[in-house]
Amino acid sequence: MNARRGWLLAAAVLLSSVANAQPFAFAVNSDDELNADSLLRVNLANGDVQIIGSLPAFMEDVEGLAFDADGNLFAVDNASKSLAMVDPLTGNATPINSRQANLGFRTTLALDLGLTFDCTGSLLLVAEQTQSLYQVDTNSGQALVIGESGGLGDAMTAIASFGANVFALAAGSSNLYQVDTQAGTAELLMSLDGFQISDAGMAFDESGYLWAVLDGSGQDPLGNAMFEPSTILRININTGELLEIAQTRSGIESLAIGGPGSCDFLAPPGPAGPGAPTPVPSLSQWSLLLLIILLALIGCRRLPLRL
């Protein structure tokens, strides 16, 4: 193999690997049969998981994970009604303000929660049972309702943001909504037909694809615990394309990929309209592609052709 062909082959391999890359995400298997309540690193392409570490004892039912713009990982626990900061390298976690039950909800409530940061830096929380949107103080953990209580109008169990847009997924109806974060209301965007949702987590990747993980755990008609795998979905917000990608560990109700995305372009909101994220290659992937092509072209120009 001559040098020019070697350059081209290396470039082709690298281009293929970038084009086919799938993101990794953080999640917690809060209702799993084995190693429950562990921080996981999930390969969204095939569902493979790496157990990072066990969460502290007070975090018995983590239902939301979210990265802020600085890479800090926050978690919301439904059992203790606590907001905590989690070390993504170990799974160790500390409640915000060094106080459990800092959200301000009664600990006896079964709320079913979802968590995300938006591009303004606000930490947003949805609660399935109250059908409400909240803003959470990251210094105290206190959650305050946005708009009217029950204003979302459906049992939202997961929430995710991209650019100026925020989306929430409802349990029971399996509907995906676009959320008005000023009024605390929601507008129907699409239905995840064919999928029964009880609990879920959602997050956007940097390309604008929405990923969701649907908890497969539950009870049979006799009340016995079931630990069916969780299902990984990928959603194109613009086209409505819904793909089932893989299955993974049971009992996952949370998902976090990275901090708020596309915050340099805050288009006006509108379901599947101009403000919706367009799933195109991310800037980092584009930059890598251009660099690879440039290196390949330089190599071809400088190396003599030998037959």
DSSP per position, 106-122: -TT----EEEEE-TTS-
* DSSP bridge pairs for 15: none
265-290: burial string, b at 16+ Cβ within 10 Å, e else: eeeebebeeebbbebebbeeeeebbe
Is the alpha carbon torsion for 136, 140, 141, 147 positive or negative?
A: negative
Tell me: the pLDDT tens digits for 162-194?
A: 999 999 999 999 999 999 999 999 999 999 999
Q: What is the pLDDT of residue 257?
A: 98
CA atoms within 13 A on the CB side of 222: 2
Confidence of residue 282 (pLDDT cuts 50, 70, 90): very low
Tell me: the pLDDT tens digits for 47-105?
A: 999 999 999 999 999 999 999 999 999 999 999 999 999 999 999 999 999 999 999 99
Q: Under a CB-based contact definition with an 8 Å cutoff, are residues 106 and 93 in contact?
A: no
Is the alpha carbon torsion for 19, 192, 32, 254 positive or negative?
A: positive
Q: What is the pLDDT of residue 296?
A: 55
Q: Give the whole-number percent of the chain exceeding pLDDT 70.
A: 78
Q: What is the pLDDT of residue 224?
A: 76
Confidence of residue 13 (pLDDT cuts 50, 70, 90): very low
Q: Under a CB-based contact definition with an 8 Å cutoff, are residues 217 and 225 in contact?
A: yes
Question: Quick check: 205 pLDDT over 90?
Answer: yes
Q: Which of 145-159, 233-247, 259-273 has the lowest mean pLDDT?
A: 259-273
Question: Quick check: 273 pLDDT over 60?
Answer: no
Tell me: the pLDDT tens digits for 120-164?
A: 999 999 999 999 999 999 999 999 999 999 999 999 999 999 999
Confidence of residue 226 (pLDDT cuts 50, 70, 90): confident
Question: Quick check: 243 pLDDT over 50?
Answer: yes
Catalogue the E-assigned strands of 236-282.
242-248
Instruction: Supply the mean pLDDT for the chain.
Output: 85
pTM value?
A: 0.81
Confidence of residue 12 (pLDDT cuts 50, 70, 90): very low
Question: Quick check: 244 pLDDT over 80?
Answer: yes
Q: SS3 for 301?
A: helix
Name the residue with higher pLDDT: 122 or 14.
122
Question: Quick check: 306 pLDDT over 60?
Answer: no
Q: Give the whole-number percent of the chain exceeding pLDDT 90.
A: 72
Structural domains in the chain?
Answer: 3-8+24-302 (2.115.10.10)
Most confident of 9-18, 108-117, 263-272, 284-293: 108-117
